[in-house]
Structure 1
Amino acid sequence: MTIHDDDPSSARRRPVLSFVRRSGRLDERLRRAWDRYSDRFLLDLSSHPGALDVRRGIRLDRAFVDRVWGVGVPLVVEIGTGQGENIAAAAGSHPDIGFLALEVYDPGVAHTLLLAGRDGLDNLRVAQVNAPELFAVADAGVVREVWTFFPDPWPKMRHHKRRLVQPALAGDVRRALGTGGMWRLATDIDDYALHVHQVMDGRAGFENLGGRTVSLPTEHVGKGTADEAEMLPHADFTESSRFAGRVLTNFERKGLEAGRTIHDFAYRAV
């Protein structure tokens, strides 16, 4: 399913990618799910099969949301849906809301399709595209909430520029959110939490709704130097309590078992 084919005259941004394309092999169960459910739940938004760029002329606008989910249905978008546990659970609990799962890796896409098909989640759709490119062509106010849970931390210092949360994406997310809309984020990496605060706190158009205080280093560390974080100067930052709408996935459970702190953020569009 396409959106619109009105080729915009403005040049398209090509941001630094926050992922590395991997050829994730599908086991027989996931291959069957892909073959069985892709026509029903997977949106065709890329330039050609196997590509992750957003096709020229695509717009994420109200007309598209109305056509896919129904007239006036609010839309929640998850960037980096992983195995799909969070968004599938939310779609099952809120049939009156439309959900769009954005994921680049084949196994995650296939598993989300499996959950959608198994549970008959007709309010859930999946798109295998680079999320910042889709938000770059999103109309104002088209999304109610954006979720970004446990994005790739890119721990090496030289790779921090690849982190998903960046000023350009924040600007596009703000435009896509209507006033009062929410960007909810979570990470189990302290240095990524500092990165989120630096990008988002005090940013025009967003209000940090956090109500709990956490202490974080005020300087970045990278892979191999994380042990030095405790020796760095610290400052207090404001974060949120755990988002009740986020299920406890195996990924988050492993982080907790490893002793990592879960950082939750809720930024409201103002």
Structure 2
Amino acid sequence: MDNRELCKKTTKKKQEIFDTPGSGRSEDRQNGHPIHRVLSFVRRSGRLDARLQRAWDTYSSEYLLDINAGEGSLDVREGFSFDGEYVRKVWGNANPLIVEIGSGQGENVVAAAEANPGMNFLALEVYDPGVAHTLLLAGKKGLGNLRVAQVNAPELFKVMADGVAAEVWTFFPDPWPKKKHHKRRIVQPELAGQVRRSLADGGVWRIATDIEDYALHVHEVMDGLDGWENVGGITVSLPVEHVGKGNADLAEGMPHADFAESSRFDGRVLTNFEKKGLVAGRVIHDFTYRKA
């Protein structure tokens, strides 16, 4: 199924949204029928506890970018452009920009911003609790080089100017383990094209996953794309067929092939999420793709 295929199923309280650029709007219409593009997440109501609500109220004006189409929307507002002028206006300098897609609770991007004051950082996250926790961490540390955007990442990359980012990070994206849901995975050729365009010459897209089948997916999408170079220097063996939830145990007996991956990225802190994967016995796969 092409990653632009439209899904016509919708409900009032829960909307399934998948992995390519889209709006998440429940009222989009075409030929009189509701339209939903494929995105990489399911929009949930994320209620904030008192602590996170205070963090939102206290720090959102300082850290949360006002670029959305409207309240509750994950679209970027019409006419907005994320270019060098905007970066200089918001961050107050022209330092290199690193964009993290799916920053989760903000552990990694906040640690990176604190450790690299000469770099600018942008955290992209859709879920309210994750956004609020990132605001809380950034605010406590008084970071001036970090901003947060609560938008659908492919939507933002569509309006990013050429060469505006030095690096893009996507660490432990939702694996969508069922085979019928693999099309919802965030790493897709269309997004790869937008990321490549937004990167400066020699810029890199760093990806990490602890799911073997997602590692195979990344190789299938990225290794054959023009304009990207896999600069990994480690050889790993992976199945050459996909498995999904319920039959992952079959992977070991499938034919395998060698793929190039990277050593662990030093700039990625060991988050609680990664620790849980290691405790569960999962292998971490790191990728570094350079704009060629």
Q: State the identity as a percent.
A: 71
1:125 alignment counterpart = 147
1:228 alignment counterpart = 250
Give the unaligned 5+ runs of structure 2: 1-20, 23-36
1:32 alignment counterpart = 54
1:204 alignment counterpart = 226
2:179 alignment counterpart = 157
Any idea what SS the aligned residue of 2:40 has?
coil
- Per the TM alignment, residue 66 of structure 1 is displaced from its structure 2 partner at its CA by 1.0
Q: Which amino acid aligns with 1:188?
A: D
| 1:69 pairs with one of 83, 91, 100 | 91
Matches within 5 A, 1:86-97: 86-97=108-119
1:265 alignment counterpart = 287
What do you get for the CA RMSD once the two structures are aligned? Answer: 0.9
2:34 alignment counterpart = none
Matches within 5 A, 1:6-21: 14=22, 15-21=37-43
- Per the TM alignment, residue 25 of structure 1 is displaced from its structure 2 partner at its CA by 1.7
C-alpha separation in 1, matches of 2:78 and 2:111: 32
C-alpha separation in 2, matches of 1:71 and 1:94: 14
C-alpha separation in 1, matches of 2:228 and 2:143: 31
Any idea what SS the aligned residue of 2:148 has?
strand
C-alpha separation in 1, matches of 2:266 and 2:278: 17
2:79 alignment counterpart = 57
- Per the TM alignment, residue 70 of structure 1 is displaced from its structure 2 partner at its CA by 2.6
2:65 alignment counterpart = 43
Any idea what SS the aligned residue of 2:100 has?
strand
Matches within 5 A, 1:181-192: 181-192=203-214
* Pair 1:195 & 2:217 matched: yes
- Per the TM alignment, residue 232 of structure 1 is displaced from its structure 2 partner at its CA by 1.0
- Per the TM alignment, residue 41 of structure 1 is displaced from its structure 2 partner at its CA by 0.3
- Per the TM alignment, residue 59 of structure 1 is displaced from its structure 2 partner at its CA by 1.2
- Per the TM alignment, residue 261 of structure 1 is displaced from its structure 2 partner at its CA by 0.5
C-alpha separation in 1, matches of 2:261 and 2:252: 19
- Per the TM alignment, residue 28 of structure 1 is displaced from its structure 2 partner at its CA by 1.1
C-alpha separation in 2, matches of 1:227 and 1:56: 46
C-alpha separation in 1, matches of 2:78 and 2:179: 33
- Per the TM alignment, residue 202 of structure 1 is displaced from its structure 2 partner at its CA by 2.9
**Runs of 4 or more above 3 Å deviation:** none
C-alpha separation in 2, matches of 1:17 and 1:267: 22
| 1:179 pairs with one of 181, 201, 208 | 201
2:11 alignment counterpart = none
**How many equivalent pairs are there?**
258
- Per the TM alignment, residue 55 of structure 1 is displaced from its structure 2 partner at its CA by 1.2
| 1:106 pairs with one of 128, 132, 145 | 128
Q: Which amino acid aligns with 1:198?
A: E
2:239 alignment counterpart = 217
Q: What is the TM-score when the length of structure 1 is the normalising length?
A: 0.94
Give the unaligned 5+ runs of structure 1: 1-12
- Per-residue CA distance 1:125-166 (angstroms, 9 max, x = gap): 000000001001111100000000000000111111100000
C-alpha separation in 2, matches of 1:225 and 1:67: 50
